């Protein structure tokens, strides 16, 4: 069994610099790509934030389920994209970017609005918020130099005084514009994408969904679907089936 070792440098206060693995061949000359740099691991601070949210939000809060579903949709949509954008799609909408968008959105409104009864509405808010960040080409690191964080988190001085960092700065405008378009397109067509790419185990949980309809739904037909607001009843049906059969269990936030 192969074991992957990731170098890490402790900074104190449960903060670490971790080496980011390169995603392509190393250039023989010239500057190193951003992937060759070091990233900041603030997992302890994330756990503090999640604990604080658990205390403040309703007991049936859906914020983690929204993140789980959005990760699943990202992965499913990626199966229908072609290179080179397919690789960029996963990098632009990395798990850390999705978590950052969720955390930022949570602090903007009343936490009572995240009750599970409003799961579809909050998921739509998250998608629209993330699309706005992509179109503006700005999504700031949640912990570095963020003055709006709750005092109860007791963040290290290093994080409070750090310069703000834009997580989308490494991507060019056309890539982010295309990601924004694909994101909203994924949201509009989500039930169809789920039916098409997800595990066959999903089909028994959706009334009227038969295997032959899955086979007859081609990849090219995704782009032919009409645009517009997603059908709420259809969404609730798909989300309920997905929860019951845990097709996104591996997409839970770490």
Tens of pLDDT, residue by residue over 147-189, are 888 888 888 888 888 899 999 999 999 999 999 999 999 998 8
Write the CB contacts of 55 (distance below 8 Å, at least 6 apart in sequence): none
Residue 232 CA to residue 45 CA, distance in Å, equals 35
Q: Which two tokens stand for residue 12?
A: 């104190």
Token pair, residue 38, equals: 């070091």
CATH of the domain spanning 48-251, picked from 1.10.1410, 1.10.357, 1.10.3470, 3.30.70: 1.10.1410
Q: pLDDT (tens digit, 9 = 90+) per residue, 119-145?
A: 999 999 999 999 999 999 999 999 999
Give the tens place of pLDDT for each residue, 35-85. Answer: 456 778 888 889 999 999 999 999 999 999 999 999 999 998 998 888 889
Strand-pairing partners, residue 238, are none
Q: Which residue has the tokens 């610099």?
A: 17
Burial of 238 (0-12, 13-18, 19+ CB in 10 A): buried
Average pLDDT, the chain: 76
The DSSP element (H or E) to which 82 belongs, if any, is: none
Burial class, 211, CB count within 10 angstroms (exposed 0-12 / middle 13-18 / buried 19+): exposed
Per-domain residue ranges for the chain? Answer: 48-251
Strands 15-19 and 8-12: antiparallel
Question: Which among 18, 252, 40 is positioned nearest to 143, based on CA atoms?
Answer: 40
Tell me: cis bond preceding 240? Omega within 30 of 0 counts: no
Evaluate whether 8 touches 27 at the Cβ level (below 8 Å): no
pTM for this prediction: 0.72
In the block, tokens 């509405």 appear at 121
């Amino acid at each position: 069994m192969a074991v992957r070792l990731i170098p890490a440098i402790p900074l104190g206060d449960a903060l670490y610099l971790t080496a980011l693995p390169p995603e392509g061949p190393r250039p023989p000359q010239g500057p190193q790509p951003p992937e060759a740099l070091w990233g900041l691991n603030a997992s302890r601070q994330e756990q503090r934030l999640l604990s604080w949210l658990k205390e403040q939000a309703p007991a049936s809060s859906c914020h983690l389920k929204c993140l789980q579903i959005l990760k699943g949709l990202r992965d499913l949509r990626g199966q229908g994209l072609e290179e080179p954008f397919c690789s960029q799609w996963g990098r632009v909408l990395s798990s850390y970017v999705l978590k950052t968008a969720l955390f930022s959105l949570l602090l903007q409104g009343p936490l009572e609005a995240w009750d599970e009864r409003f799961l579809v509405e909050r998921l739509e808010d998250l998608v629209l918020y993330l699309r706005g960040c992509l179109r503006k080409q700005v999504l700031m690191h949640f912990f570095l130099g963020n003055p709006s964080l709750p005092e109860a988190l007791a963040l290290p001085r290093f994080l409070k005084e750090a310069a703000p960092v834009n997580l989308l700065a490494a991507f060019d405008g056309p890539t982010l514009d295309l990601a924004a378009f694909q994101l909203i397109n994924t949201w509009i067509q989500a039930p169809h994408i789920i039916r098409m790419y997800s595990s066959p185990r999903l089909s028994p949980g959706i009334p009227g969904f038969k295997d032959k309809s899955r086979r007859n739904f081609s990849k090219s037909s995704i782009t032919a679907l009409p645009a517009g607001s997603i059908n709420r009843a259809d969404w609730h049906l798909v989300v309920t089936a997905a929860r019951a059969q845990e097709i996104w269990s591996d997409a839970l936030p770490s």
